[in-house]
Structure 1
Amino acid sequence: MTVADAIRQAAERLSATSDTARLDAELLMAHALGVSRSRMLVTLMREDEPPSFDGLVARRIAREPVAYITGLQEFLGLQFLVTPDTLIPRGDSETIVEAALEVAPDARRVLDMGTGTGALLLAVLHELPEASGVGIDASAAATEIAQENGERLGLAERAQFLTRSWLDAGWSEGLGQFDLILCNPPYVEEDASLDPDVRNYEPASALFAGAEGLDDYRVIIPQLGKLIIAGGAAVLEIGANQAAQVSAIAHDSGFAIELRRDLADRPRALILR
Structure 2
Amino acid sequence: MADHPPEALGPLLREARARLMAAAVDDPALDARLIVEHYSRTTRTQAIASPDLKIDESAIAAIDDALRRRAGGEPVHRILGYREFYGLRLSLSPETLEPRPDTETLVEAILPFVKATVAREGACRILDLGTGTGAIALALLSVVPGATATGVDISAGALATAARNAGQLGLGGRFTTVQSDWFEKVSGRYHVIAANPPYIPSRDIGNLQDEVRDFDPRLALDGGADGLAPYRVIAAEAARFLEAEGRIAVEIGHTQHDEVDDIFRAAGYAAGEMFGDLGGNDRVLVFQRSTP
Report TM bin, short chain. over 0.9
For 1:99, what is the secondary structure of its paired residue?
helix
CA deviation vs aligned residue, 1:77-117 (integer Å, no higher than 9, x gap): 11011111111111000000000113332341111000000
Question: Post-superposition shift, 1:2?
Answer: 2.6
Match of 2:19 among 3, 13, 22: 13
- Work out which of the residue numbers 218, 222, 225 in structure 1 matches 2:232: 218
Instruction: Tell me the equivalent position of 1:45.
Output: 51
Task: Please tell me whether the aligned partners of residues 151 and 175 of structure 2 are also in contact (alpha carbons under 8 angstroms).
Answer: yes
Q: Which residue of the partner structure matches residue 164 of structure 2?
A: 148
Whether the 8 Å contact between 1:17 and 1:63 is mirrored in structure 2 is no
Q: 1:43 offset after TM fit, Å?
A: 5.4
Q: Which amino acid aligns with 1:82?
A: L
In the alignment, structure 1 residue 22 sits paired with structure 2 residue 22: no
The DSSP-based 3-state class of the residue aligned with 1:222 is: helix
Report matched runs for 1:69-108 at 5 Å. Answer: 69-107=79-117, 108=124
Q: Which runs of 5+ in 2 are unaligned?
A: 1-6, 118-123
Match of 1:252 in 2: 266
- Give the match's secondary structure for 1:271: strand
1:30–1:40 contact (8 Å) kept in structure 2: no
Q: Which residue of 1 aligns with 2:252?
A: 238
| Contact 1:104–1:232 under 8 Å retained in 2 | no
Confirm whether residue 178 of structure 1 aligns to residue 190 of structure 2: yes
How many Å separate the matches in 1 of 2:222 and 2:28?
28
- Cα distance in 2 for partners of 1:238, 1:26 equals 32
Q: How far apart are residue 195 of structure 1 and its match? A: 0.9
The alpha-carbon distance between structure 1 residues 44 and 176, as it changes in their structure 2 partners (threshold 3 A), is farther
Matched, 1:269 2:281: no
Letter in 2 for 1:261: G
Identity of aligned residues (%): 36
Structure 1 segments unaligned to the other structure (5+ residues): none
Say how many residue pairs are matched. 268
Structure-1-length-normalised TM-score: 0.93
Q: How high is the TM-score relative to the length of structure 2? A: 0.87
Q: Deviation at 1:39?
A: 5.4
Separation of aligned partners in 1, 2:146 and 2:14 = 46
Q: CA deviation at 1:248?
A: 0.8
CA RMSD in angstroms, aligned pairs only: 1.6
Aligned partners of 1:123 and 1:43: how far apart in 2?
34
Query: SS of the residue aligned with 1:104?
Result: helix
- Whole-angstrom distance in 2 between the partners of 1:263 and 1:197: 21
> Secondary structure of the residue that 2:245 maps to in structure 1?
strand
* Gap change, CA 1:46 and 1:212, over 3 Å in 2: farther
Using a 3 Å threshold, how does the CA distance of structure 1 residues 249 and 40 change in structure 2: closer, same or farther? farther
Q: Name the CA distance, whole Å, in 2 between partners of 1:40 and 1:73.
A: 22
Partner Cα separation in structure 2 for residue 195 and residue 239 of structure 1: 15
Residues 259 and 268 in structure 1, CA contact (< 8 A), matched pair in contact too: yes
* C-alpha separation in 2, matches of 1:122 and 1:240: 24
Distance 1:86 1:141 in 2: 8
Alpha-carbon separation, structure 2, partners of 1:101 and 1:128: 8
